[in-house]
Structure 1
């Protein structure tokens, strides 16, 4: 087994419960950690034997482009797409962070984490 991590994928998106958030948008950061059997890829040196992190980045950007009220909903969609697209992934964790959330306080970011195991 092995892990593949994509850290700090930066996205501008339009998520939130406030009407203004869906109009103005804000900055987000997404982290993805995947567990998969990387043994074959470590021997073959073939992209088809591993999890293509270009595909993972693409999935994150596509799902972040779909407006949602809750970050939990966005994270679940990302996880579902990863499991649908990558059969070798046995476990995945996604963290979605909203940078400078509009919560009347000095808060750098708010994050949610979701995990899914096959």
Structure 2
């Protein structure tokens, strides 16, 4: 088993419960970690035998541009798509941070973190 991390993906998006947040938009940081078996790719040296981090980055960007009220909702979409579209992935962790959130006070970021494992079929 191995880990791929795609860290500090910077995205501008329109998430939030306040009308101003969805109109004006905010800067976000997304950190992604996936667990997968790299034994085949380590031997074959073929991209098709591993999890392509370009694919992971694309899913994050595609889901982040769809406005939502809650970061939990967009995190769930990212996790679900990765598990549905890349069978080599066994576990996904996504962290989404809203930078400089409008919550009153000097707050650098707020972050949600979601982890899901592939369900085993009996």
TM-score after normalising by structure 1:
0.99
Partners of 1:57 and 1:4 in 2: CA distance:
12
Partners of 2:105 and 2:46 in 1: CA distance:
49
Runs of 4+ with >3 A deviation: none
1:4-32 CA deviation, whole Å, 9 max, x = no partner?
Answer: 00000000000000000000000000000
Aligned-pair Cα RMSD in Å: 0.4
Is the counterpart of residue 104 in structure 1 residue 104 in structure 2? yes
Mapping of residues 32-71 of structure 1, within 5 Å: 32-71=32-71
Give the aligned partner of residue 25 of structure 2. 25
1:53-81 CA deviation, whole Å, 9 max, x = no partner?
Answer: 00100000000000000000000000001
Is the counterpart of residue 93 in structure 1 residue 84 in structure 2? no
Once the 2 structures are TM-superposed, how far is the Cα of residue 101 of structure 1 from its aligned partner?
A: 0.2
Once the 2 structures are TM-superposed, how far is the Cα of residue 50 of structure 1 from its aligned partner?
A: 0.3
Partners of 2:53 and 2:47 in 1: CA distance:
10
Structure 1, unpaired ranges of 5+: none
TM-score after normalising by structure 2:
0.96
DSSP 3-state at the match of 1:84: helix
Structure 2, unpaired ranges of 5+: none
